[in-house]
Homo-oligomer: A and B are copies of this chain.
Amino acid sequence: MDKLRVCLFCFAVVCLCSCIQFAEAGGPKKPNHKDGVATARWLVSQTTWGVLSTISVELGGAPFGNVASFSDGLAGEGHGIPYFYMTTLDPTPRNALKDARCSFSVNEFPLGSCGGKDPQNPTCAKLTLTGKLKLVDSNTTEATWAKDVLFVKHPEMKACLLIINWTFHGFQIFKLEIEDIFLINWFGGSQTITVAQYLQPRLWVQE
């Protein structure tokens, strides 16, 4: 009977550890919904990908959404500006080089912190950053920094660079120059957030 108890205790400990690990995997806790700026920066800091929407050259000016991995900085040091590593073999950067108008949509659902709610539930945060998608000059310290932080968040990008030579495909750094912020994270419509408020330096503290 003692062994049974020990076994059940071990099982409980394993479950507890798994739960703690799962909870910690998400990084800093989601901010209170009343703090829209913190929620927006948290989303950009915690997510690894989103959908870039550009004006399609090939589809007569239709809006064209496409998945893109991104980074806004090292963990806990994000600046809020999404940087991308893309090739003009893909239509999104080709579109942006013709017409830089763009939006980038990230949301909370893939983080697993919406508590079982539907992705469209307004309490499951959704952020759209609208602005211009600009090529970053590869000879700048900004491009070097962006590549470094992208490779930390997306190690596969670096691995691919070494293995199949992504440079052969003309991968370059792009960034979103943000002009408008649209955030839904509660009932009652979008929150008003200015770009200046959003870009304020923010120290991420594990709560």
One of A24-32, A101-109, A199-207 contacting the partner: A101-109
A70 → B minimal CB distance (Å): 9
Does A172 sit within 8 A of B, measured CB to CB? no
Query: Are B105 and A51 in contact, with the CB atoms below 8 A?
Result: yes
Contact with B along A172-206 (1 / 0, CB 8 A): 00000000101000000100000000000000000
Expressed in whole angstroms, the Cα–Cα distance for A47 and B64 within the complex equals: 19
Q: Residue A154 at the B interface, CB < 8 A?
A: yes
Copies of this chain, tallied across the complex: 2
**Quick check: is A145 within 8 A (CB to CB) of the other chain?**
no
Q: Mark A118-144, 1 if CB is under 8 A from B, else 0.
A: 111100001010100000000000000
Cβ of A117 under 8 Å from chain B:
yes
- Closest Cβ of chain B to A12, distance in Å, is 11
Taking CB atoms, residues of chain B closer than 8 Å to A105 are 51, 65-67
Interface size, A (range): 35 or more
Which of B3, B52, B56, B69 lies in contact with A3, CB distance below 8 A?
Answer: B3
User: Is A8 engaged at the interface, CB distance under 8 Å to the other chain?
Assistant: yes
Closest to A125 in B: B67
Contact: A67 with B109, CB < 8 Å? Answer: yes
Contact A62 B101 (CB under 8 A): yes
How far is it, in angstroms, between the C-alpha of A65 and the C-alpha of B3 when the chains are bound? 57
**What would 9 A/B residue contacts be, using CB atoms closer than 8 Å?**
A48-B118, A53-B64, A56-B103, A59-B130, A59-B180, A67-B105, A118-B156, A120-B156, A120-B157
Beyond A53-B53, A120-B157, 18 additional pairs, beta carbon < 8 A = A3-B3, A4-B4, A49-B109, A50-B51, A51-B51, A51-B53, A52-B65, A53-B63, A53-B64, A55-B63, A56-B130, A62-B102, A63-B65, A64-B182, A66-B126, A67-B105, A67-B119, A69-B118
